[in-house]
Amino acid sequence: GLFGVPELSCPEGFQEAQDKALQESEQLVQKACSTPPGPETVMIFDQLSDALCRVADLADFVKIAHPDFAFREAAEEACRNVGTVVEKLNTDVDLCQSLRRLLADEIVMGSLDPETRRVAELFMFDFEISGIHLDEEKRKKAVNLNVRILDLCNEFLTGTHLPNKIDKHVLPEHIRYNFTAEGNYLQIAGLHADCPDDLVREAAYKIFLYPNAEQLSRLEELLASRHSLAQLVGYDTFAHRALQGTMAKDPETVRQFLEKLSDQLSKRTQKDFEMMTKMKMKLNPQNSKLMPWDHPYYSGALRAERYNIDPGLYCPFFSLGACMEGLNSLFSRLLGVSLYAEQTQRGEVWSEDVRKLAVVHETEGLLGYIYCDFFQRPDKPHQDCHFTVRGGRLRENGEYQLPVVVLMLSLPHSTRGAPTLLSPGMMENLFHEMGHAMHSMLGRTRYQHVTGTRCPTDFAEVPSILMEYFANDYRVVNQFARHYKTGQPLPKNMVSRLCESKKVCAAADMQLQVFYAALDQIYHGKHPLKNSTTEILKETQEKVYGLPYVPNTAWQLRFSHLVGYGAKYYSYLMSRAVASMVWKQCFAQDPFDRAMGERYRREMLAHGGGKEPILMVQG
C-alpha cells in the first residue's frame, strides 16, 4: 500500500482508511470528554489530531500527485470528508469544554511543561477561530462557511491552471507554433515568460490573463466568505484572523513591513526598470516601453548578458547525484545527519522513479523518511513542494512515530548519455525543499500538532530559504559540483559569476513580490472592497509595482497562492529577512560550523511549532 499503509493498495482503500480514522476519532472525542483535566487531555487531543491528519495529509498529497485518476479522485473525496469532520469538531462544545476545564485549572496548568501548555493553547485557538463561543445557529453557519470555503478553494485552484483558448487566426502566423494547437484553436497554458520573442510574451500575457467570468465570481465569493467567517467569529477582517499566532501578529505590522521594504527598494527598482528598458530599446527600438510581460524575460537576459551564466554551462556540474551528495555531506558536517537510499515494497510508491531516503543521525539513529518524487511526468503539477504525510510524535507506548514527508520537484529524466542535470535554479530549489524536509525530520516534538513545519507560515519558510544561502556559497558548492564526465570541479569564477548575477534586477524582482503581498493584504482586509478585484489590482500594481496595468487582464485569477497563503503571502519576504539574519550571524563565517549547526537545531528546528517563533529567532 502507498507509504506502507496496507489499506491503500487500491483507490477504494481510502474509504476504509477514512472510516477507520473517523471511528478512532469518535472514541478519542468520548475519551477527551470524560478525562479529568491534566497533561493526558493534551495527549488525547493530539492523538485525535494525528488520527485525522494521517488520512487528510496523505490524501492531500495523493489528490494532486498520483498518476492514476481513480486514486486522485478517492483521495479528494477523503480530504473533503475528513475536512468536514475537522470543521465540525472545531465547533464541538463538549470537546472544547474538556480543554477549557484544563486551561482554567491554574494548578494543573502551572505543572505543565511549556510545550504542552502551548499545544493546549493552540488547540483552544483552533476552537476560537472556528466560532466555538457562538450560539448553535451561528456555529452551524460557521461550519457551513468553512465547508463552502474549502470547495471554493479547490475550484479556484483548478481555475488558476486552466488554459485559455483562442481562434488561431487572431494570432500572426509566425508565432502560432509557440502554442498547442487544437483544431482551429490555440491553447495558451501559461505566460511563456522566458520566450525571447516580445510578441509571443505579449500574446500569452493578454490571452492567459484574460478574465474568466466564472473564476472571477469564485474569487469574489471566496473573499466574501472568508470575510463573513472572520466577522462571524469575532475578527475585523480575515487578515486579522489569519495573522493571529504568526511572527507578524497583525495586518498593521505586515503593512508597515511591506511599506518599509518598498521604500528601501524604490530607487533600486527604478534603476532596474531603466536597465531593462535600455535593453528592450536595443532589441526592439520601435516598441521600447517596459511592460509587465517584459520583466521576467529582460531581468534574465540582463543577468545572462552581464555574467554569461547560460544554464547549459552549469548543468553538467550539477548532476542530481552530485547535488544529493552535496546535501548529504552538508547535513552530516553541520548536523550529524546522513541520507540513505532504502528499498521500497511493492505498491509503496506511486511511480517507479520515486526514491525513498532514510534520514539517520550519527548517535540518535533513524529520524524519519523522505520520499523523493523528483521527475517530470504527464499530469504532474509543476510546482516544487514539500508535503508532510505523517507527523512525528511520542506515542502512548513510549516509541517515537517517525515523520514521513514527500519532496516533489519537476526534474528532467536522465538520458542514455547523461544523468539528470540540474540548472542552477533547480539546484537552489532542491536545497530549498530539503530545508523543509530537515525541519520535518529534526522538529522532533512530543506532539504531532506542532511537528516540523507545522508552525506559523511566516516562520515555516525560514529553514528552507536559509538553505538557499548555502546553495549560493562557493565553499559549499565547491564540495560537490563536479563535471559528470570529467570529474572536474566547477571553477571558482563560474560560481562567483552565478552569485553576482543573482543581484542583477534583484530589487525589481523583490518589488514584484511586495506587490503580490500587498494585493493579498488588501483582498483580505476591510470588506466590502472599495472596488472590483480587478480595479484593486490595477491601482495596487501602479502604486506598488510601477509597471502599467494591461486592460482586459486579471492576473489575480491566476494567483493560486490566495488559496494556501490567504493574507499570508508576505511570509516569503518576512522569512527571507529572518533567514538572512541567521545566515549572516551564524553561518556566513563558516558554513560547516558544527557547533553553530547544533545551536541552530536546538534553538530553531527542534521545536517545530511548539514554541513562540520570535523566541526561536532570538535564540
pLDDT in tens, 446-459: 999 999 999 999 99
**What separation in angstroms does the CA of 511 have from each of 120, 483, 575?**
39, 36, 16
User: Per-residue confidence at 612, pLDDT binned at 50, 70, 90?
Assistant: very high
User: Per-residue confidence at 310, pLDDT binned at 50, 70, 90?
Assistant: confident
Match 469575532 to its residue by C-alpha cell. Answer: 234
* Cα gap 563→520, rounded to integer Å: 10
Q: What is the mean pLDDT of residues 237-266?
A: 97
Give the model's pLDDT for residue 382: 80
* Cα gap 351→443, rounded to integer Å: 28
Q: Which of 312 and 3 is assigned the larger pLDDT?
A: 3
Give the model's pLDDT for residue 283: 86
Q: What is the mean pLDDT of residues 15-30?
A: 97
69: pLDDT strictly greater than 90: yes
Q: How many CB atoms lie within 10 A of CB 323?
A: 24
For residue 280, count CB atoms less than 10 angstroms from its CB and return exposed for 0-12, middle for 13-18, buried for 19 or more. Answer: buried
> Mean pLDDT, the chain, as a whole number?
95
Q: Over pLDDT 70: what percentage of the chain?
A: 100
To the query of whether residue 433 is one of the catalytic residues in this protein, the response is: yes
Q: What is the mean pLDDT of residues 67-72?
A: 96
285: pLDDT strictly greater than 90: no
Strand-pairing partners, residue 370, are 357, 405
All structural domains of the chain, each given as residue ranges with its CATH number in brackets, are 2-133 (1.20.1050.40), 315-491 (3.40.390.10)
Give the neighbor-by-neighbor strand order of the sheet with 164-167. 164-167, 185-188, 180-182
381: pLDDT strictly greater than 90: no
380: pLDDT strictly greater than 90: no
Give the model's pLDDT for residue 574: 97
Which of 348, 433, 461, 468 is labelled catalytic? Answer: 433
Q: What is the mean pLDDT of residues 114-120?
A: 96
What would the DSSP string read from start to end of 158-197?
Answer: HHHH--EEEEGGGS-GGGGGGSEEETTEEEE-S--TT-S-
Q: What is the mean pLDDT of residues 467-479?
A: 95
Q: Over pLDDT 90: what percentage of the chain?
A: 93
